[in-house]
Structure 1
């Protein structure tokens, strides 16, 4: 029952600040399980609407996913240009091609300039990614995706119906 740090301004979030329930995902863009969770979370977001706030935090497991850290860095560069969620979608929808050449292409696709992409891939946002990663470690994250509902770790079923049911129950408790 590890608790995740409170959601703040530094987080990437979708949904109202005052939504009755918050779902936090610690994820890795190269993780196949995170790729499977991506459409599930989208479906739950659509179904819940304003009753859900979704937060994504970087947890690149670079020892097993060699492109995950650069993908997270590119996502942070997109965030600096207010395009995080566009990049988030592009990365998950193109999980099989996350090498630097592909990342450069995706960066240009969402409107980033060459200098922004190069700086990102050279570590400009490494501190933000490390902060996300360490907050996950402190919360007991040891794999991805790791989900937290209303601050508590959720290890239950990950299909859309099950996740929707548990999130709605949590929303109704508030």
Structure 2
């Protein structure tokens, strides 16, 4: 039974669970049915909450693994650069432009790149402007909370669930 079904069953017990004691005329209620449904409801809530906590924990582990893999990737990239520089230096010392083994082919080529020594000395003719905008939600929230109208924005009240 899911939570909606349990809630409906609780409502049904409350609506239909009253009966009259024939001897005394007293209106009675079947508490055991309601208690059983309350226990089922609590167990379902605990199960879902536990599953959410497990997923949060799993996400923490995934984030740590991503961080570890990113760190390892950066280390490998440094090693690759260092080893390529080493091979290039060795080939250059020997004056070799192309080299082939049973498993690999290596070749060198010339290229040109720009090395900026001092950005301040570069003319604006050689600069391009990058401009990005981001919305300051904290400032908007403060403005609306203080009674200001902010076109294009509204303050929305949310209900959040906290699990501990």
Q: Which TM-score tier does this pair reach, normalised by the shorter chain?
A: under 0.3
Structure with the larger helix share: 2
- The structure showing larger relative contact order (alpha-carbon pairs under 8 Å, at least 6 residues apart) is 1
Q: TM-score, normalised by structure 2?
A: 0.16
User: Rg bigger for which structure?
Assistant: 2
